[in-house]
A and B are shown apart, each in its own frame.
Chain A
Amino acid sequence: MKMCVIDNIELIFPMADRPILRNINYSIEYGDRIILLGGNGSGKSSLLKLLNRTYQPTTGKIYLENKELRTIPLHVLSQKIVTVTQDLRDSLFFSLTVLENCLLWETRFQKISFQIQKHQEKVFFQDYLAGFHGQLPKKMDVCVAALSGGERQSLVLALCLLHPPELLLLDEHTSALDPKIAANLIKYTERLLEEKNITCVLTTHNLEIALKYGNRLLALAEGQIRLQADGPEKSFLTQEEVLERCYL
Chain B
Amino acid sequence: MDIILTALSQSMLFLPLALGIYISYVILQATDLTVDGSFVLGAAIFARLLTANVPVYWAFLAAGLGGALAGIGVSLIQYKGRINSLLAGILALFMLYSINFDVMGRPNISLFNSPSLGSFLGMNDMNGNWIFVGVVVLLILIILSLLLTTRFGLVLRAFGDQQQLLKRLGHQIEWYRFFGFALSNFLVAWCGAMTAEINGYADLGMGFGMALTGIGTVVIGRQILKPFYKQHHFHLLLEFGGCIIGVCLYFIAINEFLAWGVNPVNLKLLLGLILIFFLSLTTKKKQGFSA
Write the residues of chain A forming the contact surface with B, with a CB cutoff of 8 angstroms: 52, 74-79, 83, 89-97, 100, 103-105, 107-108, 110, 112-117, 141-143, 145-146
Contact = CB atoms under 8 A, between A and B. Distances in A.
Interface stretch (B1-9, B46-54, B90-98, B160-168): B160-168
A107 B171 contact: yes
Nearest to B175: A112
Interface in B151-182: 151-152, 154-155, 157-158, 160-162, 164-172
Chain A contact residues, majority secondary structure: mixed
Q: Output the residue of A77, A93, A103, A110 with the most chain B CB within 10 A.
A: A93
B29 to A, nearest CB: 9
A105 B154 contact: no
Given A141-B233, A143-B232, A77 B170 contact: yes
Contacts of A97: 233-234
B149 interface: yes
B155 A116 contact: no
Contacts of A114: 147, 150-152
Interface string B215-236: 0000000000000000111100
10 contacts: A78-B170, A94-B162, A96-B158, A96-B161, A96-B234, A105-B169, A115-B150, A115-B151, A143-B232, A145-B231
Contacts of B152: 112-114
A89 B171 CA distance: 17
**Shortest 8 CB-CB distances between A and B: which pairs?**
A78-B170, A75-B170, A146-B231, A114-B150, A93-B161, A143-B232, A95-B161, A143-B231
A102 B168 CA distance: 15
A142 B160 CA distance: 18
A107 B151 contact: yes
Given A95-B161, A143-B233, A146-B231, A112 B170 contact: no
Q: Output the residue of B165, B167, B172 with the most chain A CB within 10 A.
A: B165
Contacts of B171: 75, 107, 112
Contacts of B150: 113-116
B169 A104 contact: yes
A105 B103 CA distance: 45
Contacts of A105: 169
Given A78-B168, A142-B231, A143-B231, A103 B161 contact: no
Nearest to B29: A95
A83 B232 contact: no
A194 B271 CA distance: 62
A78 B232 CA distance: 29
Given A108-B169, A108-B170, A145-B289, 9 more contacts: A75-B170, A76-B170, A77-B170, A96-B157, A100-B157, A112-B155, A113-B150, A116-B151, A145-B232
Nearest to A107: B169
A116 B149 contact: yes
B170 A74 contact: yes
A100 B231 contact: no
A108 B155 CA distance: 12
Given A74-B170, A78-B169, A107-B169, A142 B151 contact: no
